[in-house]
Amino acid sequence: RGAPADLHRPERDPVGVSQLSGRAGGSSREPQAPVSLTSYLPLSRRDTVSLPACLQARDLAKRVRGGSGRSAGARCRARRHRSEIRTAGRDPPQGRSAYAMVEIDVSGAGHHAGSHGNRGVSSLDNLPAFPCAKLKLDQFFLQWLSEHQDTVTSLLEDVVAGRTLRTPAMGANPSASPLSPSTSHALFSSTPPLSPSKANSRSPLSPLSPNKRTPPVSAAAKRGASGPLPVFYQPRSGPSTEPGKQAKIMADLEAGFADKPGGITQAAAAELLCKVLGLPRMVGRSVFVRLTHRAVADESALLQRPQLLDYVLKRRLFTGETVVRVFNALRADNQQYLTYADLNPVLECVLQYHPGLEFLKETAEFQRKYAETVVYRIFYTLNRSSNGRLTLRELRRSDLQEALELLDSEEDINKILKYFSYEHFYVIYCKFWELDTDHDFFIDRNDLAHYSQGALSLQIIERVFEQVPRKFASAEPGKMSYEDFVWFVLSEEDKTTDTALEYWFSCVDLDCDGVVRPREMWFFYEEQLRRMEQMPAAETVQFEDLVCQLHDMLAPEAEGAYTIRDLKRTRPHCAVLFNALFNLHKFLAFENRDPFAARAEAAEFAGLSEWDRFAKIEYCRLAAEDENEDVQMDADEGWPDAG
């Protein structure tokens, strides 16, 4: 009575169908008579209504009173410490079976009404203002899911098993079901029928009745109906291969022995493994050598069919991608990593059969040094832990497979810049030979001080021989072996790689806290400053100017603190920091660089790394020196004849 007409319209009432009874209005100085509000809230069953319903009740009271809803004396039929409203025991209006009825008594005793009779529910003002709709939806969902979890599970199992869904039957009391007839029909009609013959065969049993519901299908029965689940995770052998594909691979391998009952040669085995398994031919040749236990150059050896098939099955070479097959083909038995020795058979095959290395067959010593250099370069680039054990993960992230495949198609070995270039080996070996004056294949501190015409500072040489960046492979104390020198020269000439950054960063990080600060930089730069002062033609760069220049160039996250992350983020310029601290020649070249000449040089060596550029320039220099020596020797030999 006296309530706005729109409260009775479902489309405008956010609660649903609301019925208001009682009196609204009255004298402003007389206590208001209790007003009874009956609201139908959308609930799945008759139950207590929690906080969102109270807020909706306050809104109803506010609309009845026509004011702000802050009058005192309002009360709800509920316990205040739980903020609940009891649902009434009467049936809701016809067609509203999905709503629960709530009665709220609001009184305005003891307060004056305004011109419009402003009254409210002050007892609800202390409730926190949560979003009513969201909380109510959460309550509905949790209530329905907790009470009807068995129903949901049964329906899901029916869908998985392919059985017909069972529609819940509506009893005499519509409110006994969480779904009204119209809502139930709309929900279950959205499921597509399995077939026309089964469309009318749904059972009228209610899913809310556990006694009448079909027992759920066990997990074993469901697996039996759909077949066994395939193994999807094999950490050591890669993804599983379909049985048909595995059988085809084995059949193709057997077909390679069809017309060769006595066995196949090394070249035929390499071609067969390349065609069927995708292995590079040099890897296939190394597999042949391993199985036959014969020398690489022995062309008379034959590989029997059982040997190859057993090896393929044992190593599971029919599974995974090509890089996984390469890893499994090269690794030793009972180990999940590659060592130096595992790569030696591949290098022997490369030296024996690659056309670009035929000139080395007459010099066994250089063949051995070439193989060692290639293996050292591979582990320098790939083995991030520097423990001499190359894992499958490291091999996956590398380009070694592409380099091995390039050996099959590229006849010029020097065009394979990754790992196998003979020119790169020549540069490294000649650099080591120049420093090793006594030719015992070891160099000490004094020998390394002559590197690049004395470009390195004594402080950094001492740090290297203290084995801070890497433990020496040499057994001689205070001596650097050829392997250690390969690590050093690759790091020195290309400081932008991850291995080089970690190599030199550990050298300049004196306190090993992962941060290079100005005090540590000064420890190394002090020697550089003295050397510049002794050079009359060199312009001295003060330490303060250097720090500002490096800060602007590298932009560390923390001012005055350089981390390995900062250097990797500014990789093209990180070499300036290390050159300024311990390589005086490169630092002065950077300070006095000609931008036009630098741009022309970058265009000439476009696409090449710092190491590739250095190796190319150095090889040309060494080749020119060798040519001049040959000319001089010829002149010396012909001098007596001329006289």
- Assess if residue 190 is contained within a domain: no
**260 falls in which pLDDT band (50, 70, 90)?**
confident
Question: pLDDT grade, residue 55 (50/70/90)?
Answer: low
User: Is 523 among the domain residues?
Assistant: yes
So what's the pLDDT on residue 634? 72
Confidence of residue 244 (pLDDT cuts 50, 70, 90): confident
**What is the b/e burial string over 105-130, where b = at least 16 CB atoms within 10 angstroms of the residue's CB?**
ebbbeebebeeebbbbbbbbeeeeee
- Residue 401 and residue 256 in one domain: yes
266 and 410, same domain (yes or no):
yes
Instruction: Specify whether 262 is located in the same domain as 389.
Output: yes
Residue 629 CA to its chain's centroid (Å):
54
pLDDT of residue 50: 46
Share of the chain above pLDDT 70, in %: 65
Query: Are residues 613 and 509 both part of a single domain?
Result: yes
Q: Is the pLDDT of residue 309 over 70?
A: yes
Same domain assignment for residues 411 and 270: yes
Residue 227's pLDDT band (boundaries 50, 70, 90)? low
Q: Residue 55: CA atoms inside 13 Å, Cβ hemisphere, count?
A: 15
Q: Using the 8-state DSSP alphabet, how is residue 169 labeled?
A: P
pLDDT of 204 above 70? no
**127-157: pLDDT as tens digits:** 444 556 777 777 776 666 666 677 778 888 8
Q: Report yes or no on 159 lying in a domain.
A: no
Q: Are residues 452 and 353 in the same domain?
A: no
> Containing H/E element for 38?
strand 35-41
In this structure, the number of other CB atoms found within 10 A of the CB of residue 248 comes to 14
Residue 297, domain member (yes or no): yes
Domain of residue 464: give its range: 445-620
Q: What is the pLDDT of residue 630?
A: 75
| Confidence at 632, pLDDT banded by 50, 70, 90 | confident
> What pLDDT is stored for residue 638 in this prediction?
67
Q: Which residue has the higher pLDDT, 50 or 313?
A: 313
Is residue 227 domain-resident?
A: no
415 and 453 fall within a common domain = no
Who's near 457: CB < 8 A, 6+ residues apart?
524, 527, 528, 531, 581, 582, 583, 584
Q: 82, 116, 142 — which closes off a domain?
A: 142
In a domain, 435, yes or no: no
Residue 319: which pLDDT band, with cuts at 50, 70 and 90? Answer: confident
39 near 16, Cβ under 8 Å? yes
**Is the same domain home to 367 and 511?**
no
The rounded distance, in Å, linking the Cα atoms of 42 and 99 is: 4
Between 124 and 337, the higher pLDDT residue: 337
Q: 451-500: per-residue pLDDT in tens?
A: 999 999 999 999 999 999 999 999 899 999 999 999 999 999 999 999 99
CATH number of the structural domain spanning residue 540 = 1.10.238.10
Final residue of a structural domain among 142, 176, 199: 142
**Residue 387's CATH number:** 1.10.238.220
Q: Identify the pLDDT of residue 234.
A: 55
Domain-embedded: residue 176: no
Are 504 and 611 contained in the same domain? Answer: yes
Helices 518-533 and 543-554: crossing angle in degrees, nearest 10, is 130
114 has a pLDDT exceeding 50: no
Q: Pick the last residue of a domain from 93, 108, 142.
A: 142
State whether 384 and 471 are in the same domain. no
Q: Do 570 and 492 fall into the same domain?
A: yes
Is the same domain home to 452 and 391? no
What's the pTM? 0.64
Residues of the chain above pLDDT 90, percent: 50
Lowest mean pLDDT among 158-172, 327-341, 518-532: 158-172
Q: What is the pLDDT of residue 607?
A: 86
For residue 208, the model assigns a pLDDT of 38
Give the pLDDT band of residue 282 (cuts 50, 70, 90): very high
Q: Is the pLDDT of residue 596 over 60?
A: yes
Average pLDDT on 340-359 reads 95
Residue 302's pLDDT band, with cuts at 50, 70 and 90, is: very high
Structural domains of the chain, count:
3
Q: Measured between alpha carbons, how far is 65 from 42 in angstroms, rounded to an integer?
A: 24
Domain assignment of residue 604, yes or no = yes
- For 556-569, the pLDDT digits (tens) are 999 999 999 999 99
Read off the pLDDT band of 323 (50, 70, 90). Answer: very high
373 in Cβ contact with 396 (< 8 Å): no
Average pLDDT over residues 238-259: 80
